Amino acid sequence: MIIMKFGGTSVQNEEAIGRVISIVRSRLRERPLVVVSALAKVTRLLCDIADEAEAQHEGKVKELLAQLKDRHVKLAENLLASKPELLSEAMEKMAYRFSRLETFVSGVCKIGELSPRSEARIISNGELLSSIIIGYAFNANGITCKWLDARKMVITDENYMSARPDLAMTEANVKRAVAEDTKGAEVVITQGFIASSTAGFTSVLGFEGSDYSAALFGMALGASRVEIWTDVDGIRTADPRTIGDTERIEKVSYEEAAEMAAMGARVLHPLTIEPARKKNIPILVLNSGNLECPGTVVTREDKAPVGPKSIATQERIFFITVQSPKLIGVTNMLAKVSTALAARNIPVVMATASESEVYVTVPQEKDGLEEGLDDVLKSLSTWAEVTVYRNKAQISIIGRGMIAFEGLGDKTISLSGKVYMVSLGTNLLSESFVIDRDRLQDTLEGLHNYIFKQS
Ligand code: ADP
Ligand code: ASP
Ligand code: MG
């Protein structure tokens, strides 16, 4: 079996879904399990619906729900126009989803309160709706397709908006469902991103989590490969939205791909690699809009070349220094700072420490300090001198053995004017620099030229 995951842009409209059908048709011999995201921008729309409901803006909620309905109904009508009986079945299934969603959202609107569990339930509808439409579109195009509910297979903890799966339970459920409920099907379709907790309530795997779902299905079924179909020609030397002349990376190791994701490259969800690596399943990153392109293979380390592979950036971070007047030991100092941040759910992007100093970077969500971070800094200030540097960015070069690549530090300083912190990633797979945000673009372009355009 193979897993084929199609992201939001790959299923955004009639034309894109037409391409998905022909890509899947070309792989039927390999018994694909198709994993779909919500249509592009639908998860965002559902988040807005949840927020407006919490704010008790009844009129706005109605307007957004109507947009959601309109987009899906029109798409189904267009895709299934030639098969009225399939169209009416799809409409019935969608109507059921819309009516449950409307009832639930109007409840949230009445009480003006939104728990993570309620939010997960609302935003899970994007994948449920897209998979219904695409499942019927396969059938309408002569490909027998069975629809499976990912919520009955992927079982997670109760951290509803960023849930972590129970791998053993998930594996057993996926195997059973695929063996028992897909008889006679050429293709199986299910949803990315969505799951349910052991208590039986809908959960989601965190934003962009459909890649992770695909890897989980791949692991459970011992798939021969996981294909991630997206809107770029494979994993590239930098995000093509930031630089014009990036190059495709042919092969990258599991470890390097995980490091890229951890350092901010959005192309794969950071947790995607682990389940695939566990069973040594290659991941292919492919462009659903350019079938000619062979994409990128993510594979075992010994099959991928050595050297710098890619540059990733995190555009908005705070750089924080914590200095203690006493020498209290590296471990102790780091532990105190990270425990305080973890207690308020603030993720640490990078950290370095000495006996009397800790440097950390944390994501900057808003322009001002958020309440949680403000509290942490106040509590740290009771025993240490704390300084927050705003408007910083992080730039990371990723690749096995890239530490032997000379001149990265000097080049970064000369391009950015100032480096606040340098950090080496796990297993020396990356080197990261904290710089001023207004120097990020020039530094990125300069480093990209220096590393990848030298002949
Ligand atoms: P999907 O909706 O298919 O999951 P995403 O938008 O999540 O797609 O991921 C694809 C995007 O990842 C690309 O459009 C690109 O802008 C971004 N990206 C970031 N870093 C890289 C990189 N190194 N190589 C390729 N794409 C990257
Ligand atoms: N639809 C979800 C999101 O937009 C999951 C995904 O597409 O990977 O985050
Ligand atoms: Mg994605």
Spell out which residues have Cβ within 5 A of ligand 3, the ion: 7, 208
Atom number in ligand 1 closest to CA 242:
16
Q: Which residue has the tokens 């942490």?
A: 376
Residue 305 has pLDDT above 90, yes or no: no
Residue 156 alpha carbon to ligand 2 centre in Å: 17
Whether 192 shows a pLDDT value over 70: the answer reads yes
Closest by CA to 415, choosing from 388, 390, 397, 427, is 397
Q: What is the pLDDT of residue 39?
A: 98
Ligand nearest to the Cα of 232, by number: 1
Q: How confident is the model at residue 333 (pLDDT cuts 50, 70, 90)?
A: confident
Q: What is the residue with the minimal CA distance to atom 5 of ligand 2? A: 208
Q: Among 50-59, 89-98, 382-391, which stretch is predicted with the lowest mean pLDDT? A: 382-391
d(CA 406, CA 419) in angstroms, rounded, equals 17
- Domains within the chain, CATH numbers bracketed: 2-231 (3.40.1160.10), 310-452 (3.30.2130.10)
**pLDDT bracket for residue 339 (50, 70, 90):** very high
Binning pLDDT at 50, 70 and 90, where does residue 213 land? very high
Q: Does pLDDT of 82 surpass 70?
A: yes
CB within 6 Å of ligand 2 — which residues?
7-8, 37-38, 43, 126, 192-193, 207-210
Calculate how far, in angstroms, residue 85's C-alpha sits from the geometric centre of ligand 1: 37
Report the separation in Å between the CA atom of 69 and the middle of ligand 1, taken as the mean of its atom positions: 27
Q: How far is the CA of 294 from the centre of ligand 2 (A)?
A: 24
Model confidence band, residue 68 (pLDDT cutoffs 50, 70, 90): very high
Cα distances from 414 to residues 392, 411, 437, 451, 452, in angstroms, run 17, 5, 15, 15, 18
pLDDT, average across residues 259-288:
94
**Torsion (CA) 70, 76, 79, 81 in degrees, nearest 10:** -100
Q: Report pLDDT for 297.
A: 96
For residues 129, 132, 136 and 139, what is the CA-based torsion angle, rounded to 10 degrees?
140
- CA of residue 191 to ligand 2 center, whole Å: 10
pLDDT digits (tens, 9 = 90+) for 247-261: 999 999 999 999 999
Q: pLDDT tens digits, residue range 118-173?
A: 999 999 999 999 999 999 999 999 999 999 999 999 999 999 999 999 999 999 99
Q: Which residue has the higher pLDDT, 67 or 369?
A: 67
Whether the per-residue pLDDT at 379 is higher than 80: the answer is yes
Q: Phi-psi bin for 2: left (phi > 0), alpha (psi -120 to 50), beta?
A: beta
State the pTM of this model: 0.94
Long-range contacts of range 167-175, CB-CB < 8 Å, 24 or more positions apart?
167/216, 167/219, 167/275, 169/198, 170/216, 170/220, 171/219, 171/220, 173/220, 174/216, 174/217, 174/220, 174/221, 175/220, 175/221
Mean pLDDT of 10-20: 98
The DSSP bridge partners found for residue 6 are 36, 229
β-pair type (225-230, 194-197): unpaired
Report residue 355's pLDDT band, with 50, 70 and 90 as the boundaries. confident
Residue nearest ligand 2's atom 2 by CA: 208
The pLDDT, as a whole number, for residue 231 is 96
